[in-house]
Copies of this chain bind each other. A is one copy, B any other.
Amino acid sequence: MADTANGEPPASTMELFNRIAAQGEFVRALKAKKASKDEVDAAVELLLSLKASYKTAVGEDYKADCPPGNPAPGGDCGPDATEPEEDFVDPWTVQTSSAKGIDYDKLIVRFGSSKINKELIDRIERATGQRPHRFLRRGIFFSHRLDMNQVLDAYENKKPFYLYTGRGPSSEAMHVGHLIPFIFTKWLQDVFNVPLVIQMTDDEKYLWKDLTLDQAYGYAVENAKDIIACGFDIKKTFIFSDLDYMGMSSGFYRNVVKIQKHVTFNQAKGIFGFTDSDCIGKISFPAIQAAPSFSNSFPQIFKDRADIQCLIPCAIDQDPYFRMTRDVAPRIGYPKPALLHSTFFPALQGAQTKMSASDPNSSIFLTDSAKEIKTKVNKYAFSGGRDTIEEHRQLGGNCDVDVSFMYLTFFLEDDDRLEQIKQDYTSGAMLTGELKKVLIEVLQPLIAEHQARRQEITDEIVKEFMTPRKLTFDFQ
């Protein structure tokens, strides 16, 4: 998985600008030589998608003679430049100019997914007999793709499904934001009692980053410890490094090749923005992230059954991979995976800034001490409070942009208390220092307990999780 949350640099807007210019010429050339409709359509589709990306990244329409960040003196690149910027989301870049973070309602429309509404949450509660996880109650997992209802139908009819999520191991350092999909996936595993596969895309990180194979693989194993520390059931969970598992499975590569036969470079370009200068490993990688969506990629778990429904909880920036997967699935005779999308975890400095493994102050890391947590929250967590106590008491704080409050929505279990805090902070009854103190008191034991659990994870335990084997669960 590409983990945007870890702070990839944004695609240069100048690069986008140049790509659009070249693609425009290419479309004109195709038309001039009366190329086939399919060829022209594919080229135009890419051109439009590049222009859309440009607009979301730069905040204004592409204009041929007006490169980004370089407005013509005469103001030719004029009026649009003052419009508010739109969000940009793909597997490598998440960008917004709003302190409130990404506008997820707009993103749902753009991605064509569905909102997780109260009705669906109620249904999950009925099906599992469990209170929905706070991530569902609070809209942190906010979007799904056809069809979570189908998964629940099947579940209620005692038909099996399995969970699939993953991580791109780009460094040893993981922060609390990285845990979101895993915390939620563990809950899903517990309440549905289903098997789970977790893909560590060390091959992807090797392809995209300046890493050796050994480094990427080493990060995969280290990160697996933090994932295991989330409490997954060893009897129901298989964690795998792509570099290892590709050479251990009779089913994985066969599915990779099947998918690769059914995606053209044009399609991959349209979905992921690849260029001709990208290496062929990047271009074919999406099939490797897609393959675990099909149950016969895991013969040791599912034997030769290809029909077991897959449910993928992930951050919404991973959606392009699974849009592609869902497009290919029926053409190779497999069921489409269902998806549950989460929002992004904000950086301490605010939802419009980036978390970065190389900037320890941009987030709370899983290795931080109690003291470091206290210092970071007090010093760096962007505040929605007022400039003076008097003003704050009078006008109240703004929870929509306050990072400490945002973090509490992720980690404070008690709904009533969270609501009380929101009211008190908004009214001015609670001061920023008091709000931060609550967060510190939530984070310190959370991280300490994680560290204690991680301490217990021996190499043997990791090895067992990462060994292809049967899993224990009830299947019809």
Contacts and interface: CB of A to CB of B under 8 A. Distances in A.
A169 interface: no
A159 interface: no
B18 A22 contact: no
Given A206-B257, A213-B257, A42 B265 contact: no
B257 A247 contact: no
B279 A264 contact: yes
A22 B275 CA distance: 16
B279 A262 contact: yes
Nearest to A243: B254
B35 A30 contact: no
A250 B247 contact: yes
Contacts of A253: 203, 243, 246-247, 253
Given A28-B25, A33-B18, A263 B247 contact: no
A258 interface: yes
A220 interface: no
A195 to B, nearest CB: 20
B243 A207 contact: no
B268 A280 contact: yes
| Main DSSP-derived SS at the A contact region | helix
Given A18-B33, A261-B206, A277 B283 contact: no
A184 to B, nearest CB: 30
A286 interface: yes
A258 B25 contact: no
Contacts of A128: none
Interface in A239-283: 243-244, 246-254, 257-258, 260-266, 268-269, 274-281, 283
A32 B33 CA distance: 20
Interface residues of A, number: 53
A221 to B, nearest CB: 15
Given A26-B22, A30-B22, A247-B250, A266 B276 contact: yes
Contact of A280 (B30, B38, B203, B286): B286
A269 B38 CA distance: 20
A21 interface: yes
A39 interface: yes
Nearest to A250: B247
A278 B263 CA distance: 8
A265 B277 contact: yes
Contacts of A263: 279-280
Nearest to A213: B254
A284 B261 CA distance: 11
B35 A18 contact: yes
14 contacts: A21-B33, A25-B29, A26-B26, A39-B277, A42-B276, A42-B277, A203-B253, A203-B257, A207-B261, A213-B257, A243-B257, A247-B249, A248-B248, A266-B276
A-B interface, 9 closest residue pairs, ranked by CB to CB distance from nearest: A260-B281, A25-B29, A284-B284, A246-B253, A280-B284, A21-B33, A266-B276, A247-B250, A265-B276
Given A257-B281, A265-B265, 13 more contacts: A38-B277, A213-B258, A246-B253, A247-B250, A247-B251, A260-B281, A261-B279, A263-B279, A263-B280, A265-B275, A280-B284, A280-B286, A284-B284
